[in-house]
Amino acid sequence: MFGFGHKHSRVARSVAMRRPETVRTRIGRFVKNRGLQLRLSIVFLSMLLLLLALQSWRAPFPFRQGDYIPHGITAKLEFERIDKEETEKAQILAESSVPYWFRHDSGNLDSLPEELRASLGDIARADSIEKLGDETRRDFGLSNAIPVGLRAEEAAQRFGTDKPDERFRELREAVVGQDMAMAQVRIQALVDDFGKFIEPLNKIGVIDPETVKRLEITPDKRILVMDEDVTEREGRAMLLPNVRLQDQLNDAGVLGIRWEEFPTLTKEIRPAISHWLYRRAQPTLRYDQNATQLAKAEARDSVDVRMKRYLKDDILVNSQTHLKADDLELLRDEYQAAEATIPWTSRLSRMAIVFALLLVLTWLNGFYIVLNEPKIATDVGRLVLYLSAIVFTAFIARLGSFDPLRAEIIPLLTISLLIGVAYNQLLATLTAFTLTLLLTMSTTGRLDHFLVLLATQTAGIIPLRKVSTRTTLIKVSFFSAITFFAVSCGAAVVETQSLQEVWDNTNFLVMSAKGAAMCLVAGYLVAGTLPFVEQAFGVVTDMTLLELSDPSHPLLKDLVRLAPGTHNHSMSVASIAETAAEKIGGNGLLIRVGAYFHDIGKMLKPQYFIENLQEGGVSRHTQLNPAMSTLIIIGHVKDGVDLAEQYNLPQPIIDLIEQHHGTTLVEYFYREATKQVECQPDHRTDAEESSFRYPGPKPQTKEAAVLMVADACESACRTLTEPTPKRIESLVNSIAMRRLLDGQFDECDLKMSDLHIVEESIVKSLIAVYHGRIRYPDARSA
């Protein structure tokens, strides 16, 4: 009976006693996981920022300049918009009604009486017109010169320009009279009356004929006159004839009606005095351009805008046309009017729907990142950088998507190429899809727009499998430019159903070519910012790795000079590890360059490492106790990290230097210390295993794990006296198993199947190095 009962194992009992996981336990575990809460909070905050960056509460405005409208566009609602043409007409009319502003300075007229006294004196002293100076003759109209601003007929009618001799005698007789001794008395009387005669000019002013001509002031145009010393903008309104001297001297002018008030100014000398005044009077009115422009601006601003009403179903854009700038402005006004009628409840509903879409896209992206890019999912810094790049790209792309820029392809293609270079093509494609979908929904909402943007980015991501030079990025951007132009034209042909119409649409072809050129801009932008991107994302590109693999690098040159044996070992490990890493899908170039530098710390104390000892040399460790020797051996890792940081090597290379020994045991010196302890029981603490282990960390990537195995196998294989294939295979398997059982691969994603493939690759590489050779017979002596 006892033999037939069911036998319960200890493991089965422990499993049976374990409580099943419930929702409550999961929530409790989530509450305790502060790191997960922080990362989820960052993701949630990024989603809110995306809602703001994309203005998710607004409906998309689908129209762009040059778009083909096959069936026309009608108004969806009744709305009003500013009639710019009518408003402009009203503003121009208001401006034209503003009078010109002038400053009046009567001081220019104060010297006229004395000047007239001198001129009349010249008339009195000359007994003939020939003895009269040319200037005086022109002033009094005693020559054939026509005053400025008057036509010949007008001057002849007003001043009588014919018979200058006769008019001279009449003027001299009026000034001198019958008695020469009374000339001064007569002149004084004339001057006194003349001063009173021109008194109205001191109040009204005189305008410059040239100013009238330049400003095109018409007789019916009002002007405003202000005194020169007045600061307030208040003036006297006048018409042009009131301030133009030729009109003031007319019979109906302000001066012409005053002749009879002064008996000395007889009819015989009035033409001469008028002529003299016309020539000698300086303008007193100065055009004030600032005051006039300010008054015109005020008048223009005071005009109420003219509105134009559109009824529902009114035709806004005719069918089978391409949108022009005026059409686009009209459609935007209708869009703004429609947006103004949407209540906040509807806006909140739209935001909720967009947020739900963001949740779906975030889940898709997050699912991929958690499974395939754990560095982003677990590192808060990298997660913040990735999400910040997405939010910033969405914000910039939306701003640049409207006319006249239409440059949304630049930030989209730039971030897609950067993620493709920094991480991988699949993550770049997924990011491109997410950003393009969100941007399209917030801007145009059109399928053709989505296809053009996504196809362009995909065309740039596909060739990014291996970017060895910056020229590759330029070639990629050129391929994206061709794709942009081709897909844009193809979508237009599908929409219009006419290749000829697309070919004849110059504006569309120019915009497509502009978008293609922006793809090239994105390529140059990525190539120029790549070093900063590597530092920001903590990644290293193939271009940088190829530059570091140059034998002329200062660290490699020093390694050859100071530790040639270590350099030879590093070159061998690089070749072996690169082949093995590529077999399991690892980054072969990264591990090769990392192997070049993994032992650079040894060149600070090269004689303490056996590969640098010359044949017959004595190891310096014979004079040291095992603990001190272990410190020196272990120290080469820290020294290597310090040198790498000093020479600004990328972080992935530094990680390989730091992790290529993990926390393995320095077995030789540990055994030596154990032997010494057996003879000295009081010193058992000197042989503690933890004191003879590397500080780590353990390999975090499969590349670091492969480098650890390849490094140990290459070094150990040199100790074989007869490196036969069987011995090499046994040695490699033994080293790999010891590392596995020691837990060195617990923190990386190296699988057992990968480890088996790595073993086979390393065995093949070592057998190729230590293959047997044909023994040639010794040459016979003569």
Please write the tens of the pLDDT for every residue from 154-186. Answer: 555 555 546 788 888 888 888 887 667 778 888
Question: Which residue has tokens 């036998």?
Answer: 7
* Nearest CA-CA partner of 712 in 572, 613, 548: 572
The DSSP secondary-structure symbol of 20 reads P
Q: How far apart (Å, rounded) are the C-alpha atoms in residues 344 and 347?
A: 5
* Nearest CA-CA partner of 455 in 476, 432, 475: 432
676 burial level (CB within 10 Å; 0-12, 13-18, 19+): middle
Burial 119-156 (b: 16+ CB within 10 A, else e): bbebbbebeebeebeeebbbbbbbbeebbebbeeeebe
Question: Measuring CA to CA, how many Å separate 343 from each of 77, 129, 222, 256, 401?
Answer: 16, 94, 53, 74, 26
Give the chain's residues under pLDDT 50.
1-17, 148, 161, 779, 781-782
Question: Which residue has tokens 């035709």?
Answer: 315
**Both tokens of residue 117?**
């006294």
Segment holding 68, helix H or strand E: strand 68-69
